[in-house]
Amino acid sequence: MIFDKYQPRVAYFCMEYGLNEELPIYAGGLGILAGDILKSAHDLHLPMVGIGILWQEGYTSQFINEHGWPYDRPASYAPELLQDTGVTVHVTIRGDEVPVRIWKVDSFQNAPLYLLDTAVPGSSYDWVTRRLYGGTSHDRIAQEIVLGIGGVRALEALGHTPDVYHFNEGHAVLAGIELIRRKKAMGMTFREALEATRREVVFTTHTPVMAGNEEHDLELLEYMGAFNGLSWEEMEQIGGDPFNMTVAGLRLAHMANGVSKLHGITARAMWSDKEDRAPIVSITNGVHVNTWMHPEIRRAYEANRSLWEPHMEAKQELLNAIAKRTGVRLNPKALLIGFARRAALYKRPGLIFQRMDIIGPLLESGRIQLVFSGKAHPQDEAAKRQVSKIAEITKQFPQSVVFLENYDMALGRLLTAGCDVWLNNPQRPLEASGTSGIKAALNGCLNLSVLDGWWVEACQHGVNGWQFGGGYEGPSQTKYDSASLYEVLLEDVIPTYYEHPERWRKMMVESIKSTYYRFSAQRMLIEYYNIMYQPSRTAKLLAEEIDHILATSLR
Ligand SMILES: *Cc1c(COP(=O)(O)O)cnc(C)c1O
């Protein structure tokens, strides 16, 4: 049995949603996961609604200037994508009553998404929802008041009565503070209100990088109005001082999850010293197959036909897009390796260039071709330097290395369907899941990846892709990982591509076979419903059960 008869109604909270490139209110994997979840909820007819923010300037559109440096422009979208619900709620920021309008989006085959917006005519708080991840901590807290507190009020005003509040990442935890305030107003003590709130809340954590777990001084939270009627002591009990949004999420929820098996283990170790926190299970991310699988590749796979022709079709679509954007005509017969990611130091986009004496001749001879894409956060200079370094390398190998500006979902689709190999070399264990590799695998684009995130569970080396490096965590990790990458590339990937096409095609089939259901958003959502949203089973027991299964399956 997949589902119990009774399906809890779920309100899913997230700061960003990647439903489609036409609505650029996402920055990366977190938002795309949220978008894929709402689409699968729609496919499976599950009672879920999303709560998010209408970012007036979107995230960022990013291009490279004549000095090779990334610069940003606001993104835009067509207003027709939004329906005005006519509903306005209010939140209090710095003592001011701030009106928040609510829009609805349901035109991407998704469960309804409600977007909160402070750009109300006449309001001086229009800046709050201007730009995703822009501004200072002050701005961020204001945004989190809108998402969390405004989100709970919006649900009520719209007539929704969720059984479960799912906070995707710490950005939404002020929703828990609002749920507690309401219960106290009905006469419960703080303890009772916290316990009752916990029974309604589940939490997903995403960040194994300590610094990526957002913290704010309690004083600033109080000044901004995030206490929402709670006392200093009560807030401190929930998130500490400084108030850690992830810790708060873990204490406001009765059940939490990491986004892959390895990440669950990492997260449990990371937060093991925090008392009164929810047990953390693992639910591995999946992607929405309809969105990410090339229709021709899918048709061929489902009919047991050769994948090579549709693959070459998808590759040519990508090469045409590359030619159009960069003027470079890559060779469709030569091995094409893709790497596209949000720029972050731990993802190490330059790893393959560690030894120019090895990689240089392969690029000059046209044996391999590389296509890169990725955006840096507008305020992250180190990440921008990383992007500009890759842009610099394209000048050294103008016929075999290209960089595509303004990475978005449309480019993500083209790249993961059209490359031959998908390269992924994070510093293990910092890639909590990663989903671009799943998109690639679904299209028969073979993963060449460090054993991190989802790939730990999927990889059958030499059967559905390859693994390298990653086993050594220390000061020489980068050297070790690049040496290992060259070894697999030279001894297995390149010879297989050019000399054993039959084996390559078999690997493509295996790649799709091992991801088609197991790493689909559908499977992920079914697990959310069966494990996270199930009020009838005690969370702790279940978590122990899962820990036991994990411990045995990972040895
Ligand atoms: C899939 C996707 C991501 C997330 O990919 P990761 O492998 O998790 O980095 C980010 N941005 C875009 C545009 C995507 O399509």
The string of DSSP letters for 54-99 reads --TT-S-EEEE-TTS-EEEE-----GGG-EEEEEEEEEEETTEEEE
Neighbour count for residue 65 (Cβ, 10 Å):
10
Ligand 1 pocket, residue 29 CB under 6 Å: yes
Instruction: Report the nearest-CA residue for atom 5 of ligand 1.
Output: 436
Q: Residue 437 CA: which ligand 1 atom is closest? A: 7
Ligand 1 pocket, residue 408 CB under 6 Å: yes
Q: Which of 209, 341, 411, 414 to mutate to test the pocket of ligand 1 (most atoms within 8 A of CB)?
A: 341
Residue 493 lies in a domain: yes
Q: Are residue 243 and residue 330 in the same domain, yes or no?
A: no
Please tell me the predicted confidence (pLDDT) of residue 473: 73
Between the CA of 28 and the centroid of ligand 1 the distance, in Å, is 5
- Long-range contact pairs involving 327-335 (C-beta distance under 8 Å, separation at least 24): 328/398, 328/399, 328/402, 330/369, 330/371, 330/399, 330/400, 330/402, 331/366, 331/369, 334/366, 334/367, 334/368, 334/369, 335/367, 335/368, 335/369, 335/420, 335/421, 335/493, 335/494, 335/497, 335/498
Ligand 1 pocket, residue 412 CB under 6 Å: yes
Residue 2 lies in a domain: no
Last residue of a domain, one of 282, 311, 340: 282
Instruction: Report the nearest-CA residue for atom 11 of ligand 1.
Output: 28
Q: Are residue 359 and residue 227 in the same domain, yes or no?
A: no
For residue 540, what is the enclosing H or E element? helix 539-553
Give the tens place of pLDDT for each residue, 4-41. 556 899 999 999 999 999 999 999 999 999 999 999 99
**3-state SS of 268-302?**
HHHCCCCCCCCCEEECCCCECHHHHCCHHHHHHHH
Please tell me the predicted confidence (pLDDT) of residue 157: 98
| 541 has pLDDT over 60 | no
Instruction: Report the nearest-CA residue for atom 10 of ligand 1.
Output: 28
534 band by pLDDT with thresholds 50, 70 and 90: confident
CATH number at residue 398: 3.40.50.2000
Residue 294 lies in a domain: yes
For the chain, give the mean pLDDT.
94
Q: Are residue 149 and residue 225 in the same domain, yes or no?
A: yes
474 band by pLDDT with thresholds 50, 70 and 90: confident
Give the tens place of pLDDT for each residue, 175-213. 999 999 999 999 999 999 999 999 999 999 999 988 889
Q: Residue 27 CA: which ligand 1 atom is closest? A: 11
Range of the domain at 23: 10-282
Residue 246 lies in a domain: yes
C-beta separation of 184 from 234 below 8 A: no
What are φ and ψ of residue 530, in 5° steps? -75, -30
Q: Are residue 196 and residue 303 in the same domain, yes or no?
A: no
Last residue of a domain, one of 238, 259, 282: 282
Q: Are residue 273 and residue 413 in the same domain, yes or no?
A: no
Ligand 1 pocket, residue 346 CB under 6 Å: no
Q: Which two tokens stand for residue 430?
A: 């910092």
Ligand 1 pocket, residue 349 CB under 6 Å: no
Instruction: Report the nearest-CA residue for atom 4 of ligand 1.
Output: 29
Give the tens place of pLDDT for each residue, 307-354. 999 999 999 999 999 999 999 999 999 999 999 999 998 999 999 999
Q: Are residue 277 and residue 297 in the same domain, yes or no?
A: no
Q: Are residue 254 and residue 341 in the same domain, yes or no?
A: no
Q: Are residue 373 and residue 260 in the same domain, yes or no?
A: no
Give the tens place of pLDDT for each residue, 111-154. 999 999 999 999 999 999 999 998 899 999 999 999 999 999 99
Residue 555 lies in a domain: no
Between the CA of 37 and the centroid of ligand 1 the distance, in Å, is 15
Residue 299 lies in a domain: yes
- What letter represents residue 302's amino acid? E
Ligand 1 pocket, residue 435 CB under 6 Å: yes
CA distance linking residue 406 with residue 550, whole number of Å: 39
Residue 522 lies in a domain: no
CA distance linking residue 120 with residue 117, whole number of Å: 7
Place of tokens 């909270």: 13
| 96 has pLDDT over 70 | yes
Give the tens place of pLDDT for each residue, 216-269. 999 999 999 999 999 999 999 999 999 999 999 999 999 999 999 999 999 999
Give the tens place of pLDDT for each residue, 409-456. 999 999 999 999 999 999 999 999 999 999 999 999 999 999 999 999
Domain count, the chain: 2
Q: Are residue 140 and residue 267 in the same domain, yes or no?
A: yes
Q: Residue 287 CA: which ligand 1 atom is closest? A: 1
CA distance linking residue 440 with residue 414, whole number of Å: 10
Ligand 1 pocket, residue 342 CB under 6 Å: yes
- What letter represents residue 299's amino acid? R
Ligand 1 pocket, residue 434 CB under 6 Å: yes
Ligand 1 pocket, residue 445 CB under 6 Å: no
| 548 has pLDDT over 90 | no
What DSSP assignment string belongs to 307-360? SHHHHHHHHHHHHHHHHHHH-----TTSEEEEEE----GGG-TTGGGS-HHHHH
| 550 has pLDDT over 80 | no
**3-state SS of 416-456?**
HHHCCEEEECCCCCCCCCCCHHHHHHHCCCEEEECCCCCHH
CA distance linking residue 259 with residue 433, whole number of Å: 6
Q: Residue 407 CA: which ligand 1 atom is closest? A: 13
Residue 30 lies in a domain: yes
Last residue of a domain, one of 282, 302, 324: 282
Q: Are residue 257 and residue 401 in the same domain, yes or no?
A: no
Going by C-alpha positions, the residue among 238, 219, 260 that lies closest to residue 170 is 238
Between the CA of 433 and the centroid of ligand 1 the distance, in Å, is 11
Q: Are residue 91 and residue 207 in the same domain, yes or no?
A: yes
Q: Are residue 465 and residue 327 in the same domain, yes or no?
A: yes
| 470 has pLDDT over 80 | no
Q: Residue 424 CA: which ligand 1 atom is closest? A: 7
Between the CA of 289 and the centroid of ligand 1 the distance, in Å, is 14
Give the tens place of pLDDT for each residue, 402-415. 999 999 999 999 99
536 band by pLDDT with thresholds 50, 70 and 90: low
